[in-house]
Chains A and B, each alone.
Chain A
């Protein structure tokens, strides 16, 4: 596809989405909201997993950090929920930096289990009401609705514009990032870390930076989630959430922003579409995931000029 066609397609898609709430009922709009939240989270994870090639299956931990930061600030100190956005991002990002610092050099699968471990540790800490501020398994409730210029965001349609506005902004920023020096360094890092190191790229710095950035995005998505649900509890940040995000990025095509968006629609939307199957809906979902991956191994919409994690690169990475 020519670049110009790309832009026309993106514009059409955005226009279609922008008017969608006019034609859809509350439930359908709320499904789109859910998709938007996951898209936001997956775009952040895509930086870590897709652009830099760091296996992270504990993204829910950073999401939780942000959501809890926002909820605690809002319910204890009455700070308007949207004002907590930067701080939630900061807390989640700082936490990610602290955790990643000693482990970021680990080989792929070892990093994978460490991030799973971090996710579980965070969840267990939340369940056990760590420092007496997380409310244990009950979670935190009574979070205020967000307010923009005096208008209270309450209905699904209101949240739709808030969430998808954030998604649009994120796409804009991440596209710029991708084309920047930083983005090129990340891709170099993913394709061949040794060569990258050799050509003067400080790999540890870039790995940590991207980890922090992706986590900060998850933290901010957490704020939106807290604002939307008005109640958060540890079960919303289970290992399963991390798995879902991981699937979105890989299914879409690692490193591909349109791919991640498409996959968010499928991974979050399909179980809703399959509601007609009642008890069998997750079975059908699992089967569809498998088939899609087998049919399009590079992802549904692979990034252009992008080798992905080819087996050859892999053999170089892990081989003796």
Chain B
């Protein structure tokens, strides 16, 4: 009986997540998809945020205290995310970084807002997230309309007349596809194809065959890198030479690995600048540290944006000289200007969106490198 009681007590303390820690740390929560379909992004986010916390702690932490990162798995689905958010609110975090998917972030927004914890999302680009007037919500990711504008503009500059648009029915890709579609049509560019593929499959030749039948000058694919890589690879097998342009969800080191160097060459995509292309000391230190610790390049721009979210929150706490949510939010809204993050300059408008033109155009060269373009 005693044993049973002990086991029960152990189970209860597990679920309660008893945390006996010294009170003199500043806790920052990270909500990330560590399991499920987006696990690779979530694990990248965790690696980056942990590295940055280490680096910051080596420099003395913040407000004279060490930083402690508390990571919770949101599983990439809204229900699990709302539980992860509830759990973080009970752990006394001063701020939360994350998360990746827009609807997943949305499920957690109100919870953090009611608990008065500042949240900074890294991968959630849906427009409406910052239209609800949450005072404590920020994001390092640009919005879909910003990227749509950039996509339409780039297609115009490159001189393409007939555009095929392909998305993958996720809210991010569909949003970007809709924005671009409307803008292109307004500018008089002909959109000859608009449809969605099913993500997670391997064979997209059916779609490519259909796309080819529509005879576009360029294909705008607004989905994610695994599908983009396969599309490029299978397009090459078909001997079809049409250029592809992608959104920032294709900015992932694995894109070239999946497509193969030959097939990826000439692929354009839009993205906030990568740390490799910034010559700030911070970005260099981060890249060196990351490669030394994990022996690879950061997996994707979204994970890097989580790193930026962490840096912003640390700067916010330092700037507000407090872990009070109201003060942090006020500081980030008003006095936080000209900060140089891992993805370029960061500042926020009244809604919590990132200010300024964030996007750049990249092109893949023959070596599989992402080269910043000047258009």
Contacts and interface: CB of A to CB of B under 8 A. Distances in A.
B171 A136 contact: yes
B103 interface: yes
Contact of A141 (B17, B72, B128, B169): B128
Interface string A256-289: 0000000000000101110110110110000000
Contacts of A231: 78, 103, 106-107
Contact of A279 (B15, B39, B87, B107): B39
A139 B103 contact: yes
A156 B86 contact: yes
B34 interface: yes
Contact of B78 (A128, A236, A275): A236
Interface stretch (A24-32, A47-55, A164-172, A306-314): A24-32
A127 interface: yes
Given A34-B79, A273-B15, A279 B110 contact: no
B43 interface: yes
A273 B14 CA distance: 6
Interface string B192-236: 000010000000000000000000000000000000000000000
Interface in A128-151: 128, 136-139, 141
A82 B178 CA distance: 34
Contacts of B35: 279, 281-282
Interface residues of A, number: 33
B175 A138 contact: yes
A281 B80 CA distance: 13
Contacts of B107: 229, 231
Contact of B90 (A25, A229, A279): A25
Interface string B260-283: 000000000000000000000000
Interface in B6-31: 11, 14-17
A146 to B, nearest CB: 15
Interface string B65-82: 000000111000111101
Contacts of B174: 136-138
A34 to B, nearest CB: 6
B72 A275 contact: yes
Contacts of A271: 80
Contacts of A28: 15-16, 90
Interface of B: 11, 14-17, 34-35, 39, 43, 71-73, 77-80, 82-83, 86-87, 89-90, 102-103, 106-107, 110, 114-115, 126, 128, 169-171, 174-175, 196
7 contacts: A28-B15, A30-B83, A138-B103, A139-B103, A236-B77, A271-B80, A275-B87
Q: Which 5 interchain pairs have the tightest Cβ spacing?
A: A27-B86, A137-B171, A27-B87, A30-B86, A25-B90
Interface of A: 25-28, 30-31, 34, 127-128, 136-139, 141, 154, 156, 229-231, 233, 235-236, 238, 269, 271-273, 275-276, 278-279, 281-282
Given A137-B174, A141-B128, A156-B86, 4 more contacts: A136-B171, A231-B103, A238-B77, A278-B71
